[in-house]
Amino acid sequence: MRTVIFDLDGTLADTSGDLLAAANCCFRQMGLGDVLEHPKDAGLALRGARMMLSEGLKRVEQYDAAVVEEYFPVFIDVYRQSIDLHTVLYPGAMVAVKALKDAGYGVGICTNKPEDLADQLLRCLGVRDDFDSLIGADTLAVRKPDPEPLREAARRAGGDPAKTILIGDTDTDRNTSAAAGVPSILVTFGPSGQNMSALNPEGLLHDFEDLPEMVSRLIG
């Protein structure tokens, strides 16, 4: 079976608001106030908790790697408690997922979000059962851009890892697909959209309505 594997943050859903809010909660606990801004820092939010904490501390000239590690679990706890307050699925995302499944593709998710948080978010959004597989940052011993999480997501969706495609929004996704020897489609409507063409993916997605035809053209 051919499979279509999606990244989650910035690809299927705009999660930046809740991620930045959790980071700012950490900064407030440090006595620094709200350091990051939405939507200006939306792209930074998709780089993960440690990157947000590091960049925020650098901006106020208080960077300390030990502080980043100290507050990482604080971030996770805060984020878990308000994971879907501002998060929304991108328009047309689930219509495209249904169309792909109706066309016979297996559909899964491969994200660098911890698996339990990804599962929680998908359930809060009411779409967990629409995906045949879910691989998170800690599901395996490696994470993207290592190709194995993508391959495992394809396997768990009932597919052949050599006949899959990754839909994503960052250089991490582009590098993952390249390492796996399969094509990628990068979305242009996420926070990093303006930079996607420079990564030379096999496809650029401007609207989810176009995804089924693009997938069919690239992997059959």
- Residues involved in catalysis: 7
Question: Which pair of tokens denotes residue 16?
Answer: 């930046």
Sheet with 133-135, side-by-side order of all strands: 133-135, 106-110, 3-6, 164-168, 184-187, 203-205
The amino acid occupying position 128 is R
Rounded Cα–Cα distance for residues 191 and 132 (Å): 26
Rounded Cα–Cα distance for residues 85 and 106 (Å): 30
Spell out the long-range contacts of 213-217 with Cβ–Cβ below 8 A and sequence spacing 24 or more. Answer: 214/185, 215/4, 215/100, 215/105, 215/165, 215/185, 216/103
